[in-house]
C-alpha cells in the first residue's frame, strides 16, 4: 500500500476494533465489542472504513445513537477519510448468547440483589399512607445520588399508583433482549415501572400473586447492571408488595417517609413496624413537608404541625430495639411538586434551595453507607 507523503496511512481493522471498544451500548452500558455487536470491519486503501454493527432487536430506538457514537470513535483515528456504519439485527441464537453473557453465564434469571455477595445497597421507601410525598422524596434522592457519581436504579413498586417515570422525566420504553429487560434512564438513573407496560393511563387490577410475580420479574429479569444503590418506591401501607420485597430481597432496608402531623406519624409508625415481622433494618425516618419560610416575612410556618418525624423515629426505636434516626426534615416547597410534573427533580433544577440541600444531604449519607455484613458469607475456613 502506498501513501501520500505527509498523509497518515489508513488504520488496520484491529485498530478500528480497538477504537470501537470505547463505544458503549446506550442501554446496557457495556462496550459493543464485549457484547458481540461488531459484525465486521473493513478498511479501504483510501481510508474509508465500513463498520457493520448488530442491533439487539429490529427497530432499536437507539440505533441513531449507536451510529453516531461508532462514527465519532472511528473518525478520531489517523488516516480515516470517512466512516460508514451498516446496521444488522442479531439472530435469536445471538440474543440468547448475549442474555447468558449479561447474566454471567447463568441461563436462568435470579435476583442479583438477593445474593450474599451483592454490594448494592437496597432501600425500600415506605409510607403509612398516600399524599406524604414519598415518590417525590424517592426521585430526588435518586437524582442526587446519581449526580454525586453513584450508579442508581429506581424500581417503581407502587403498582397501583405508579408515578416515578413522569417525575424523573423518563419518556423511553424498556427494550427486551430475549427475556431480559433493558430499563430506560433519565438524569443518570435507570428506571422500571409497571406504567411502562400498560397502555395510556390504564389502571392495574391485580391481586397478591400477580403483584409478587411482577415485582420478581422487575428484580430478576431487568438488566440493572452493577448498581451502587437501588431505591424501591413502595405503595403506601403494609400490603402484599411490602411483604414480597422482604421475601425477594431480604437485605433491603426501610426508609419511612412521613409528614409532621400526628395523624400521619401514627400511620407511618405502622408502616415501619412491619420490619419486626420481616426482620428488615430501618435506616431512618424522613420528615417531608416540614415548615416553610413565609414569602412575606421569612418566618417559618408549620402548616402540618411539627415533630411528626421524631415521634415516628422514637416509636420505631422502642419497637425494634435499635436506634432509628430522623434522616432529615425536608421543607415544604411547591417546586418539589412542579419538578415532578416537569420531570426535573428539584435537586437538579435548584440545588441550592433548602429542600434540595436537605435531600442532597440525606442522599450523601445513604450513598456513603457500607452494606451490612449481617447474613453474608465471609468466605472464611478453619485453619
Of 3-17, 240-254, 336-350, the one with minimum mean pLDDT is 3-17
Q: Which of 37, 57, 90 is the last residue of a domain?
A: 90
126 and 265 share a domain?
yes
172 and 37 share a domain?
no
Residue 311 sits at the vertex; the CA angle it makes with 257 and 359, to the nearest 5 degrees, is 35
305 and 206 share a domain?
yes
Q: Closest by alpha carbon to 364, among 345, 339, 347?
A: 347
Residues 274-300: pLDDT tens digits?
A: 777 778 888 999 999 887 666 656 566
Calpha distance 360→159 (Å, rounded): 27
CATH of the domain at 74: 3.30.300.130
Domain count, the chain: 2
Q: Which three cell numbers stand for residue 33?
A: 465489542
Mean residue pLDDT of the chain comes to: 83
* Residue 101 placed within a domain: no
Beta carbons of 122 and 90 less than 8 angstroms apart: no
Residue range 305-331: average pLDDT?
86
Q: Which three cell numbers stand for residue 232?
A: 424501591
Q: Which three cell numbers stand for residue 364?
A: 450523601
Q: Which of 90, 121, 153 is the last residue of a domain?
A: 90
* Residue 62 placed within a domain: yes
* Residue 45 placed within a domain: yes
Residue range 126-147: average pLDDT?
89
159 and 53 share a domain?
no
Calpha distance 109→217 (Å, rounded): 9
Strand pairing report for 38-43 and 48-55: antiparallel
Residue range 53-63: average pLDDT?
81
123 and 39 share a domain?
no
Range of the domain at 30: 13-90
Q: Does this model's pTM top 0.85? A: no
Calpha distance 183→231 (Å, rounded): 14
Which range among 96-100, 233-237, 283-287 has the greatest average pLDDT? 283-287
136 and 167 share a domain?
yes
First-to-last C-alpha distance (Å) of the chain: 64
342 and 198 share a domain?
yes
126 and 197 share a domain?
yes
51 and 122 share a domain?
no
318 and 218 share a domain?
yes
Calpha distance 15→30 (Å, rounded): 19
29 and 119 share a domain?
no
Cβ neighbors of 145 (< 8 A, separation 6 or more) are 152, 228, 229, 363, 366, 367
CATH of the domain at 188: 3.40.50.300
DSSP secondary structure of 165-231: HHHHT-----EEETTEEE--EETTEEEEEGGGSSSTTPPP---HHHHHHHHHHHHHTB---S-SEEE
164 and 128 share a domain?
yes
pLDDT band at 97 (very low <50, low <70, confident <90, very high): confident
Q: Closest by alpha carbon to 372, among 111, 110, 112, 118?
A: 118
Q: What integer pLDDT is reported at residue 75 of this predicted model?
A: 95
pLDDT band at 264 (very low <50, low <70, confident <90, very high): low
Q: Which three cell numbers stand for residue 308?
A: 411528626
* Residue 383 placed within a domain: no
Helix (H) or strand (E) holding 301, with range, is strand 300-301
Q: Closest by alpha carbon to 87, among 72, 67, 68, 62?
A: 67
Q: What integer pLDDT is reported at residue 246 of this predicted model?
A: 82
Which range among 33-42, 97-106, 206-215 has the greatest average pLDDT? 33-42
Residues facing residue 258 across a β-bridge: 287
Amino acid at each position: 500500500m502506498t501513501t501520500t507523503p505527509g498523509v497518515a496511512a489508513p488504520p488496520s481493522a484491529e485498530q478500528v476494533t480497538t477504537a470501537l471498544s470505547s463505544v458503549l451500548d446506550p442501554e446496557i452500558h457495556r462496550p459493543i465489542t464485549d457484547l458481540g455487536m461488531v459484525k465486521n470491519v473493513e478498511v479501504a486503501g483510501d481510508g474509508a472504513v465500513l463498520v457493520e454493527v448488530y442491533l439487539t432487536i429490529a427497530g432499536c430506538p437507539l440505533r441513531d445513537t449507536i451510529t453516531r457514537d461508532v462514527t465519532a470513535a472511528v473518525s478520531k483515528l489517523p488516516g480515516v477519510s470517512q466512516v460508514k456504519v451498516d446496521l444488522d439485527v442479531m439472530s435469536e441464537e445471538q440474543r440468547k448468547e448475549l442474555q447468558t453473557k449479561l447474566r454471567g453465564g447463568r441461563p436462568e434469571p435470579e435476583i442479583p440483589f438477593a445474593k450474599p455477595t451483592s454490594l448494592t445497597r437496597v432501600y425500600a421507601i415506605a409510607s403509612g399512607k398516600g399524599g406524604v410525598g414519598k415518590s417525590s422524596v424517592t426521585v430526588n434522592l435518586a437524582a442526587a445520588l446519581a449526580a454525586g457519581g453513584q450508579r442508581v436504579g429506581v424500581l417503581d413498586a407502587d403498582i397501583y399508583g405508579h408515578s416515578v417515570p413522569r417525575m424523573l422525566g423518563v419518556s423511553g420504553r424498556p427494550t427486551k433482549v430475549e427475556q431480559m429487560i433493558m430499563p430506560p434512564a433519565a438524569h443518570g438513573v435507570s428506571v422500571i415501572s409497571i406504567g411502562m407496560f400498560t397502555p395510556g393511563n390504564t389502571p392495574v387490577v391485580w391481586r397478591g400473586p400477580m403483584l409478587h410475580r411482577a415485582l420478581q420479574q422487575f428484580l430478576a429479569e431487568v438488566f440493572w447492571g452493577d448498581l451502587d444503590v437501588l431505591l424501591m418506591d413502595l405503595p403506601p401501607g403494609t400490603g402484599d408488595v411490602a411483604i414480597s420485597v422482604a421475601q425477594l430481597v431480604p437485605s433491603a432496608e426501610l426508609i419511612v417517609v412521613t409528614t409532621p402531623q400526628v395523624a400521619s406519624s401514627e400511620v407511618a409508625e405502622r408502616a415501619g413496624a412491619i420490619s419486626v415481622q420481616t426482620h428488615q433494618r430501618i435506616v431512618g425516618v424522613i420528615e417531608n413537608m416540614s415548615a416553610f419560610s413565609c414569602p412575606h416575612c421569612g418566618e417559618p410556618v408549620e402548616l402540618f404541625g411539627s415533630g411528626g418525624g421524631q415521634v415516628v423515629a422514637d416509636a420505631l426505636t422502642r419497637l425494634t430495639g435499635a436506634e432509628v434516626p430522623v434522616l432529615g426534615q425536608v421543607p415544604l416547597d411547591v417546586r418539589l411538586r412542579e419538578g415532578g410534573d416537569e420531570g426535573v427533580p428539584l435537586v437538579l433544577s435548584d440545588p441550592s434551595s433548602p429542600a434540595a440541600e436537605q435531600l442532597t444531604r440525606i442522599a450523601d449519607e445513604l450513598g456513603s453507607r457500607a452494606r451490612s455484613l449481617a447474613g453474608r458469607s465471609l468466605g472464611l475456613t478453619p485453619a
